[in-house]
Amino acid sequence: MATLGQHLPVLEYLQRQVNGSLADGDSTHMRYPTAISTLLKFRIVSVAEADAVIELDADAAIHGNQQGTVHGGMLCELADAAIGTAHSTLVHEGESFTSIDLKASFLRPVWQSRLRAHAWATHRGRTISHYRCEIRREDDKVVASIESAVMTLRNERAFGR
């Protein structure tokens, strides 16, 4: 007999996904995996309340710019995914969220490396929360530092988002 699964809070759903205990039919009110994360082959490797780590095997041959390094936009997308995953752990049923700004500082180039984006809340407000994300190469050197503000949407503002 097939199990129907459980409807879980986002944090519990993602933690089960990471540790491999997510059952068939388990669900949450947010969409995971996200379409963009699937397309870009991002992997959630760690998640806690207002904290997330996402990895990408970056390669300038696939994710490159005209200079032959991994595109800064790819680093921003990786950071935005980590920040969004971290914030989604705070979002309840009937709520949604949107980024309202993102500031990136690029520190080192990347040609080919497993990148690890770690995002965490620096301020958790009722409506506006602030996050920081560091992206590190395999040699543990920081390649980008990103800050972002995220707005939690409620009621009619959350509908369809």
The H or E element containing residue 158 is none
Say how far apart CA 53 and CA 45 lie, in whole Å.
Answer: 6
SS3 assignment, position 55: strand
Query: Does residue 75 have a pLDDT over 80?
Result: yes
Q: Are 40 and 59 in contact (CB under 8 A)?
A: no
DSSP state of 159: T
Which amino acid is it at 58?
A
**pTM of the entire predicted model:** 0.94
Task: Summarize pLDDT for 109-153 with one digit per residue, the tens.
Answer: 999 999 999 999 999 999 999 999 999 999 999 999 999 999 999
Which amino acid is it at 11?
L
Per-residue confidence (pLDDT) for residue 3, from 0 to 100: 58
139 phi/psi in degrees, rounded to 5: -80, 10
- Higher pLDDT: 4 or 90? It is 90
DSSP state of 140: S
Per-residue confidence (pLDDT) for residue 4, from 0 to 100: 76
Per-residue confidence (pLDDT) for residue 161, from 0 to 100: 62
